[in-house]
Amino acid sequence: MAGLAPLGLIVGCRHIQAGDEQYLLPEENASMATREPGARAATGAGRHIAHELLRRLGCMNPAILRGRFGNPIWPAGIVGSIAHDDTMAVAVAARSGELRSVGVDIEPALPLPDDLRAVVAAPEDRLGDLDPNLGGRILFAVKEAAYKASFPLDGRVLGFEDIAVDFEKGEAVTSPGRRLAVCFATSPCILALTYTASER
């Protein structure tokens, strides 16, 4: 995971464990709708990683509230992203002077069902030489990560059809015109990272 990260981005991961919901801070709990225990454990695992990243970045209050669209609200001066599948949670964070925005997604290294692939893929996507078995799942993960990175900048809820991914160029372009760098890994799970650099 660290090998994917651009300069200035710090990363962490954790196997989700029963009871990880204990890591949700009181103000985070208050910002979230009631969810079933497994989902709360996954959310707690993600927040636990993110809290540690924020402490490493010098944040005194590492609370990450939930926005009205389910998006995490990061402390001022920080950009970040959190994701989980059924077994693993990941989080990434950076100072906003290093990156303007970042998105991460994690998925099992399994083929995407054909019916879902038909929803995810768009004519503008350029898959290049992706593994034919995992290409759909990689595309899904990258589009999820791209949405997470674009939402804080544009405030737009996007569908899969609103994000075009060109794996040969290593970029994703959203319908509002946002360009994001793309990188991913496929083992032991699929991890997708998208970001846009800060203007210097």
Tokens of 176: 């509002």
Residue 146's CB is within 10 A of a number of other CB atoms, namely: 32
> pTM for the whole thing?
0.94
| Residue 34: per-residue pLDDT | 56
Q: What is the pLDDT of residue 200?
A: 55
> For the chain, how far is it from start to end, CA to CA, in angstroms?
26
Distance (Å, rounded) from C-alpha 200 to C-alpha 190? 31
Question: Using CA atoms, how far apart are residues 48 and 42, in angstroms rounded to an integer?
Answer: 10
> Mean pLDDT per 10-residue run, the chain (200 residues)?
88 96 92 75 96 96 91 96 96 96 97 93 94 94 98 95 97 96 94 88
| 188: nearest Cα among 49, 87, 41, 45 | 87
